[in-house]
Amino acid sequence: MPALNSDPLAESIPTDVLAIAAHRDDVEQTCGGTLLRMAARGLCTAILDLTQGEAGTRGSAEERAQEAAQAAKFLGVGWRQALDLPDGAIENSHTNRMRIARVVRSLQPRVVILPYWQARHPDHAIVASLGYEACFLSGLAKVDTGSHPHRPFKIVYASLYADVRPSFIVDITPFIEQRHQALMAYASQYANQTAGAGLFVPEEEIRDRTFAEARHYGLLAGVRYGEPFVQKEVGLVDDLTLVPVQSI
C-alpha cells in the first residue's frame, strides 16, 4: 500500500469502493468489515481521511499516520491517504469540496461510503454533506481539476452510531476478527492511558462493545455480525424470490 504523504494523488489507483471519513480510525469503527468483505470479493477499496488527527485528546498526528497505515494493511485496502483539513473544524467550503473532488476523479470509485449526517462529533456530520457535494462537483464537466469528470454511481452512509433504521446490513461475520485488529492498531487511541481516561472506553471493554454492536445489526439481518448503512434513494428489486432476509 502506498505510504501516506502530503499529496493524496501521488499514487492513486482505480477504485471500486472509497470510504471518506473525518478522522483516522472512523472507517475502522463504522465500515471496516464492509471494506474487508469487498476486498475479499476482489474489489479494490480505498480510504480518504480528511484530517491528520492533530486535535485529538490522545496521540499525535504522526502516531495516527503510522497506525492508519497498519490498520489499512489489516483491512486490505489498496490505497489510503489523508488530507490536512483542520481537525475539529472541518468546513463545507468550495475549497474543501474541490480537494475531495480531485481525489474522487483520480480514484473513480463506483461506490462512496460517507458518515451518517447526524452525529455527536460535528466533523462527522459535516463530512456527510461535504463528501456528497464533492462527489456531485466531481461529475461536472466544466469544473476544472486537471482530470476527467467522474461521479460515483452510489453513495451510502455508514450509520453504526446513529439512532436510525438501516436501509441495509452488510454481513461481516467472516471478517469480525480482522476488523477488530484494524481498530486496535490505533494503540495511541485505545490502549489504556491517563490521557482521556474519563472519555475513552477502557481497552478491556472495547472488544465486547464493538462485537455487541455488530451482533445487534447482524441479528436484524439474520446473520451473526453486521454493519448498517443508509441510502437516500429507494431500492430496486428484480426478482422477489431472491430478496434476502426472512420475514417470518
Note the Cα 61 to chain centre separation in Å: 18
- Contact (Cβ atoms closer than 8 angstroms) between residue 97 and residue 129: no
Mean local confidence (pLDDT), 23-52: 97
pLDDT in tens, 123-136: 999 999 999 999 99
More confident residue, 27 or 7: 27
Q: Report whether pLDDT(120) > 90.
A: no
pLDDT band at 160 (very low <50, low <70, confident <90, very high): very high
Sign of CA dihedral 126, 128, 129, 135: positive
Straight-line distance from the first to the last Cα atom of the chain, in angstroms, rounded to the nearest whole number: 45
Q: Report whether pLDDT(10) > 60.
A: no
Q: What is the pLDDT of residue 157?
A: 98
pLDDT band at 7 (very low <50, low <70, confident <90, very high): low
At which residue does the C-alpha cell 481537525 appear? 87
Q: Report whether pLDDT(107) > 90.
A: yes
CA–CA gap between residue 199 and residue 34 (Å, rounded): 27
Beta-strand pair 168-171/226-230:
antiparallel
More confident residue, 242 or 58: 242
DSSP string, 7-26: -TTTT----SEEEEESSTTH
CATH number for the domain whose boundaries are 17-232:
3.40.50.10320
- Contact (Cβ atoms closer than 8 angstroms) between residue 58 and residue 140: no
Cell numbers that stand for 62 in this block: 504522526
pLDDT band at 13 (very low <50, low <70, confident <90, very high): confident
CA–CA gap between residue 8 and residue 10 (Å, rounded): 6
pLDDT in tens, 166-218: 999 999 999 999 999 999 999 887 876 676 567 777 888 999 999 999 999 99
C-alpha to C-alpha distances, 149 to 103, 205, 229, nearest whole angstrom: 11, 45, 27
**Residue ranges per domain, the chain?**
17-232
